[in-house]
Structure 1
Amino acid sequence: MKKLIVAIAATLVSSWALAHNCPNEMKAIDAKLPGAQLSAENMSKVKDLRAKGEQLHKEGKHTESMAALAEAKKLLGM
């Protein structure tokens, strides 16, 4: 029973930590965007992924948000 409680607590804490990291990822993307040397297509993709990440964060879908933000960062070379 203790192991189950610890597992549940660990899941909740990791979700909470992940949820609070989304804004930091968005800030990092926002900081990099003005000087980014990307094609118009990739710039559009980055902006769309960043917006999608923010929307998913607001919906409480933090894992999906982090995935979208990670893809945006990848396109930015971060």
Structure 2
Amino acid sequence: MRQAVPGLAIERLAVTWASDDDNVYFLGVGSVPDLVQFDTGPDGQPPFLVETDHCRAVTSEVAEAVAAVSAGLGSGDAGSGDDLP
């Protein structure tokens, strides 16, 4: 993802209590830090939930998650062989 999206910023949700929200990330570009919300199962495993202001995708396939994140960031350069950040 970092190669396909120059200036990619990734922030992990910081929680101070035991929660299912330990695997929530916000991805953005430049001055827009939260274009995409990306949730994973424990230890970064599927299922993946990708949300933007305009769409929501749930998948267990890495390639589909990468494509959804890429679309949310406005980059169409990610392919099925690309990996998640």
More strand by share: 2
Q: Same fold (TM over 0.5)?
A: no
More helix by share: 1
TM-score by length of 1: 0.33
Higher relative contact order (CA 8 A, sep 6+): 1
